[in-house]
Amino acid sequence: MLTRPAGKAPNTAYRPGGDFETLERRRRWTARAATLLPPATLQLAFNDIARTDLESHVNYLQSVADYHERIKAFFFPIVFDDTKSIDAVAWRHAPAHRYRDVTSPAGLYGMHGSALGGAAFALLTIGMMRLRAIVSGRGSEGPRAGRLIAHGRCYDGLVTFEAVARVQGHFDRLSTRGLAGRFYRRLFETAPHLRPLFPPELSALEGHFEEVLASVISQLGRMTAVDATLRELGARHLRYGAQPQHYPLVRDVLLQALEEQSAGDWSDAIARDWRLAIAAIMAPMLRGAAVETAEAAQALAAEDTVGDI
């Protein structure tokens, strides 16, 4: 919660663009939106450590307002009272601005900020060390130089280059004609409640599905090339009504359609490779949907405060 520095006179409250309740409401909405964006959460933790968060900023502005009041109390009698001699003024008692962040009693940033910031820094450090180990082939599971890298992140334990080659080889042997139709029939049989999310006529959508699948599979070992496309696809599906809990269902149905389409060219190993490949494709789609949700939360917070700030 936002606090006022000790000793603040009620009639000198600094209220920048509104009141303390408005600023506190904006701070809460910002914190809620940050829960969907780990980098934003980390930034808030660092703000808390450096005492550059909203609470510290308002307290600093309050200290300036208090300083101005002390200046007026000291100088107004000198300027406007003709009975006082300027030679008799005790200038050594002239007010000076001194600010101490009273929200951080435990030193530089307080115990709460220290714990939160320390944990965030530790997680960031461990994550970077883990990423370097994976990229260099020194992961905990032994050398795996073929990990799938996408948008600076490694989908740890998912698709090796060998698995990518097997999936692409299987897809090249696969006759994709009718695959999309088989997939949608299976999907609506398994989850009929999803049918209203799709257009009545599926011909155009089936062609688009097969084109996108072929394009992504061809880039499976270079996911950075299609990362932005998959993120946008995930955001678009969210607007259509798709939810995160639908993704495992779609994965399983697609695996069934692939197995049926394979006409005997299927095995447990191929199924495992395809399952992991689909997960690697869906991961950036889910991130795109998460960003879309976070932007909607931020827009809602802005609507809530724009009239008051």
Lowest mean pLDDT among 105-109, 166-170, 256-260: 105-109
The pLDDT value given to residue 169: 93
Question: Could you tell me what percent of the chain has a pLDDT over 90?
Answer: 28
- How confident is the model over 7-21, as pLDDT tens digits? 444 444 444 444 567
The pLDDT value given to residue 148: 38
Lowest mean pLDDT among 92-106, 248-262, 281-295: 92-106
Is the per-residue pLDDT at 53 higher than 60? yes
How many alpha carbons fall within 13 Å on the CB side of residue 293? 19
- The DSSP bridge partners found for residue 150 are 153
Of residues 50 and 167, the one with the higher pLDDT is 167
Of residues 167 and 55, the one with the higher pLDDT is 167
Q: Looking at beta carbons, which pairs linking 295-302 to residues 24 or more positions away fall under 8 Å?
A: 297/29, 297/32, 297/33, 297/36, 298/29, 298/33, 300/29, 301/26, 301/29, 301/30, 301/32, 301/33
pTM for the complete prediction?
A: 0.49
Q: Please name the residues in contact with 22: beta carbons below 8 A apart, sequence gap of 6 or more.
A: 305, 308, 309
Q: Residue 50: what residue type?
A: A
| Banded pLDDT at 304 (limits 50, 70, 90) | low
The pLDDT value given to residue 102: 56
The pLDDT value given to residue 122: 55
d(CA 221, CA 163): 9
Lowest mean pLDDT among 138-147, 152-161, 182-191, 194-203: 138-147
Of residues 157 and 262, the one with the higher pLDDT is 262
CB 282 within 8 A of CB 248: no
d(CA 204, CA 36): 34
The pLDDT value given to residue 180: 93
d(CA 85, CA 184): 93
Looking at residues 77-87, what average pLDDT do you find? 69
Average pLDDT, the chain: 74
Q: Looking at beta carbons, which pairs linking 259-268 to residues 24 or more positions away fall under 8 Å?
A: 260/182, 261/174, 261/175, 261/176, 261/178, 261/179, 261/182, 262/170, 262/174, 265/170, 265/173, 265/174
Question: What domains does the chain contain, in order, with CATH numbers?
Answer: 10-129 (no CATH), 149-305 (1.10.490.10)
Question: Could you tell me what percent of the chain has a pLDDT over 70?
Answer: 69
